[in-house]
Amino acid sequence: MNITVIALGKVGLPVAALYAARGHRVTGCDLSPAVVNAVNAGVSTLPHEPGLAERLAAVVSSGQLTATTDTVVGVVGAEVVIVLVPLDVDAAHQPDFRSMDGAFQTIASALKPGTLVILETTVPVGTCRSRYLPVFEQGGRRCGVDFFFAFSPERLQAGRVERDLDTYPRVVGGIDAASAARAAAFYAGNFTVPVITLDSAEAAEMCKLAESIYRDVNIALANELAAYAAARGIDFMQVIKAANSQPQSHLHRPGLGVGGHCIPVYPYFLLNDAETAALTLHARRVNDGQHRLAADQIEAALGGLSGRRVLILGLTYRTGVKETAHSPALDLAAELRQRGAITLGHDPLLAVDEIAAAGLTSVDLGRPVSADAVVLHTDDPTYLDFDASTVAGCAVVLDCAGAWDPARVTARGITYLALGRPARRPPVSEARP
C-alpha cells in the first residue's frame, strides 16, 4: 500500500519505519527540513528508540521510505494517511490546535477519492467529528463514500514504540461504520494484536483519555498516601510492598510528578469539556504540586535556599528517554530558583547547551563538583552507584527515584530524604556541616 505518515516525531518516525519494513511504500511528512533531511539520509533522530536506526537505514536504502516537507506531495498518492501531529496544551491548559489544524487543511486539499485518514494523536472527545470532518466535507465530499475517516489512539511509550505496537490491541472508532471497517481491516492486516472496534470515533477518543486519566489518578493517589505516610513517620515503600501483596491492590510508587507529552496533558482535554470531574482535577493538582513539596523538603533540611547550590541528576521526564516535555525535574529546578537557589544539572542524554537552555548549569561528574544538596530524579544506570559524598559540601540528598540505599547515604554524613519516607539523618558525629 501507499501509506503517508504526517509528522515524524517520537511516534511518527518509528511508525513510518515499521510500516515500510513490512513492505509498504511509505512517505513521511514533516515541516522540519532538518528532520526530513536526516530521514532521507537514513539517520534516526531518535537514538534511544531500540532498533530504529537499523530499520530506518534499511527501509530508506531500499526505497520503501522517503520523507518530504511538502505534505501535499505526500498525501496526493496515499491510500492511507496516518496523522500523528502532536497536540499539547498552552499555559492556560487549553489545547493548541494550530499545527494540527494546518495539517488537516493541507490533507483535505490533496485527498484523492477513497483515501482512509486515521488520526492517532490523542485529542479531546469530539475532535474528529466536530473539528476535522467539516474540513474534509468541503466541496460536497461524503465520509464513507468519497473518503474514510477514523480515530485510533496510539497506545505506546517513547523508547518502546515497536514493542508496544505489537503488544497492545488496536482501538478503532470511525466517523461511520464504513470508515471503522476500513480502519479495522488496515490494522488487522498489519498487526497480530486484536482490533477492538467501538461504536464511534468519540468512544475511541475517550478510550485514550480514560487510560491516561486512570494512570494520572493512581499516581496522584500514591503521592497523596506517601505524603501522609511521611508525616506520620511511616516508610511508604514498605506499605506499597505489603499492600500490593493483595491482588486487588496496585499502588504505584510516589514520584516528583508526571512528565512527558501524555499524562500531564490529556486530563485537561476532559477537564476543559466536563461540567464536573473533581477526581481528575484533584489528581492534576496533586501531581503538579509534587515539585513544590520536594522543594519544601530541601529548603527545610538546608535551613533555607537563598544562594544554595542544588544539583539535579536526571532531567528528562523518564529514564532512558530523551524528552524533557513537562519534566518534573525542570519544574523543581524552576521552583528552587524562584526560592533563591542556584541549580546545577546533569543528564547523560542531554548536551551541555540543552541543559543550559533549561535554565541549569551543566556539570561534569568526572570533575570536582560542589553543591549543598543533590536530587536524584531518574534511576539512570549512570547514577545507581553514584556517591553523593563526592560532591563537595553536600549535606542533603533527595532520592526521588528510590534508587539509593539510605544507610549508605547517612553513613557518609548526609541527610537522606525521599518522597514517602521519613527523613534519615546521619549520626551527629558524622553529619556534614
CA neighbor of 152 nearest in space, from 178, 126, 138, 173: 173
pTM above 0.75, yes or no: yes
According to the model, what pLDDT value does residue 157 have?
83
**Domain count across the chain:** 2
262 is catalytic: yes
Give the distance, in angstroms, between the CA of residue 309 and the centroid of all CA atoms in the same chain.
29
- Classify 12 as helix, strand or coil: helix
According to the model, what pLDDT value does residue 162 have?
86
**CA–CA separation, 118 and 83 (whole Å):** 6
Q: For the segment 81-123, what is each residue's pLDDT rounded down to a tens digit?
A: 999 999 999 989 999 999 999 999 999 999 999 999 999 999 9
Q: Which of 207, 262, 394, 400 is flagged as catalytic?
A: 262
pLDDT mean over 119-144: 96
Cα 212 to Cα 81, 190, 267, 367, distances in angstroms: 25, 25, 7, 41
**CA–CA separation, 92 and 341 (whole Å):** 27
Residue 222 lies in a domain: no
Are 312 and 394 within 8 A, CB to CB?
no
Are 154 and 86 within 8 A, CB to CB?
no
Are 374 and 399 within 8 A, CB to CB?
no
Beta strands in 79-158, from DSSP E residues, in sequence order: 80-83, 115-119, 147-151
Regarding whether 244 and 128 lie in a shared domain, the answer is no
Predicted confidence band at 338 (pLDDT cuts at 50, 70, 90)? very high
Regarding whether 246 and 193 lie in a shared domain, the answer is no
Are 41 and 83 within 8 A, CB to CB?
no
Residue 189 CB neighbour total at 10 angstroms: 10
Cα 397 to Cα 289, 321, 376, distances in angstroms: 20, 24, 8
pLDDT mean over 373-390: 94
Are 331 and 400 within 8 A, CB to CB?
no
Predicted confidence band at 428 (pLDDT cuts at 50, 70, 90)? low
Task: Phi first, then psi: give them for residue 17, nearest 5 degrees.
Answer: -65, -35
Residue 250 lies in a domain: yes
**pLDDT, the chain, mean:** 94
Flag whether pLDDT at 27 surpasses 80. yes
Q: Residue type for 298, please? A: I
Task: Phi first, then psi: give them for residue 62, nearest 5 degrees.
Answer: -80, -10
Regarding whether 385 and 242 lie in a shared domain, the answer is yes
Regarding whether 267 and 153 lie in a shared domain, the answer is no
pLDDT mean over 237-258: 94
Residue 211 lies in a domain: no
Flag whether pLDDT at 429 surpasses 70. no
Regarding whether 134 and 62 lie in a shared domain, the answer is yes
Bridge partner residues of 6 (DSSP): 29, 83
Q: What angle do CA 296, 401, 161 make, to 5 degrees?
A: 125
112 is catalytic: no
Predicted confidence band at 430 (pLDDT cuts at 50, 70, 90)? low
Q: Residue type for 156, please? A: L
Domain end, chosen from 179, 204, 229, is at 204
CA neighbor of 152 nearest in space, from 175, 136, 178, 132: 175
According to the model, what pLDDT value does residue 168 have?
95
Residue 221 lies in a domain: no
Q: What angle do CA 399, 400, 402 make, to 5 degrees?
A: 70
Are 23 and 47 within 8 A, CB to CB?
no
Give the distance, in angstroms, between the CA of residue 295 and the centroid of all CA atoms in the same chain.
23
Regarding whether 322 and 423 lie in a shared domain, the answer is yes
**CA–CA separation, 432 and 421 (whole Å):** 21
Flag whether pLDDT at 427 surpasses 80. no
Are 2 and 77 within 8 A, CB to CB?
yes
Q: Residue type for 418, please? A: A
- Regarding beta strands 421-424 and 415-418, do their DSSP bridges make them parallel or antiparallel, or are they unpaired? antiparallel
Q: Look up the domain containing 402 and give its range.
A: 237-433
Comparing 126-130, 174-178, 180-184, 383-387, the range with the smallest average pLDDT is 383-387
Residue 422 lies in a domain: yes
Regarding whether 124 and 254 lie in a shared domain, the answer is no
Regarding whether 419 and 297 lie in a shared domain, the answer is yes
Residue 220 lies in a domain: no
Q: At what angle do helices 201-231 and 278-288 cross, to 10 degrees?
A: 50
Predicted confidence band at 225 (pLDDT cuts at 50, 70, 90)? very high
DSSP string, 35-46: HHHHHHTT--S-
Residue 227 lies in a domain: no
- Classify 423 as helix, strand or coil: strand
Predicted confidence band at 322 (pLDDT cuts at 50, 70, 90)? confident
Flag whether pLDDT at 432 surpasses 70. no
Residue 231 lies in a domain: no
**CA–CA separation, 79 and 73 (whole Å):** 13
**CA–CA separation, 337 and 419 (whole Å):** 20
Burial letters 198-216, b for 16+ CB under 10 A, else e: bebbbebbbbbbebbbebb
Q: Which of 29, 207, 208, 400 is flagged as catalytic?
A: 208
According to the model, what pLDDT value does residue 431 have?
63
Predicted confidence band at 415 (pLDDT cuts at 50, 70, 90)? very high
Regarding whether 249 and 197 lie in a shared domain, the answer is no
C-alpha cell of 361? 548549569
Residue 402 CB neighbour total at 10 angstroms: 18
According to the model, what pLDDT value does residue 261 have?
84
Are 165 and 18 within 8 A, CB to CB?
yes
According to the model, what pLDDT value does residue 365 have?
93
Domain end, chosen from 204, 224, 258, is at 204
The owner of cell 496523522 is: 83
Q: For the segment 142-199, what is each residue's pLDDT rounded down to a tens digit?
A: 999 999 999 999 998 888 888 999 999 999 999 999 999 999 999 999 999 999 999 9
CA neighbor of 320 nearest in space, from 54, 48, 45: 48
CATH value at residue 35? 3.40.50.720
Q: For the segment 268-291, what is each residue's pLDDT rounded down to a tens digit?
A: 999 999 888 999 999 999 999 999
Regarding whether 383 and 264 lie in a shared domain, the answer is yes
Regarding whether 373 and 305 lie in a shared domain, the answer is yes
Regarding whether 242 and 197 lie in a shared domain, the answer is no
Which DSSP state fits 89?
B
